[in-house]
Amino acid sequence: AQSVAQPEDQVNVAEGNPLTVKCTYSVSGNPYLFWYVQYPNRGLQFLLKYITGDNLVKGSYGFEAEFNKSQTSFHLKKPSALVSDSALYFCAVRAVNKFYFGSGTKLNVKP
């Protein structure tokens, strides 16, 4: 069965520090991997995706993600967190015609 896991419900980080939001997946075949961000009372916004090629993917707002095939992980990272990065983050996998989402990780960036 296809699944996506985000092991941390919440991540707390101080402004200016690096951040990591973890994601692991279980999908048959070659997956397409995505990160989305959701601000309060808004829809999800696309951040970045991995299709193939370089394992480090760069996306919007200074975010990047590292694909690790052997660990089936796709962790979201940012070198220096901003208070405005505080939001709910979702990892997702596209397997053929279906999308599977993780349960979400709330990122809190404190001044």
Partner 1 sequence: EAQVTQNPRYLITVTGKKLTVTCSQNMNHEYMSWYRQDPGLGLRQIYYSMNVEVTDKGDVPEGYKVSRKEKRNFPLILESPSPNQTSLYFCASSETQGHGELFFGEGSRLTVL
Q: How far is the CB of 15 from partner 1 (least distance, A)?
A: 27
Contact 89, 105 (CB under 8 A): yes
- Element at 99 (helix H, strand E): strand 98-101
Among 58, 62, 50, 43, residue whose Cα is nearest residue 91: 50
Residue 94 CA to residue 82 CA, distance in Å, equals 29
Which of residues 68 and 103 has its CB atom nearest to partner 1 in the complex? 103
Which of residues 61 and 99 has its CB atom nearest to partner 1 in the complex? 99
Q: How far is the CB of 50 from partner 1 (least distance, A)?
A: 9
Residue with tokens 């993917």: 57
Q: How far is the CB of 80 from partner 1 (least distance, A)?
A: 25
Q: How far is the CB of 51 from partner 1 (least distance, A)?
A: 4
37's tokens: 């961000």
Contact 26, 102 (CB under 8 A): no
Interacting residues with partner 1 (CB under 8 A): 4, 6, 9, 32, 34, 36, 41-46, 49, 51, 90, 92, 94, 96-104
Which of residues 50 and 109 has its CB atom nearest to partner 1 in the complex? 50
Which of residues 15 and 66 has its CB atom nearest to partner 1 in the complex? 66
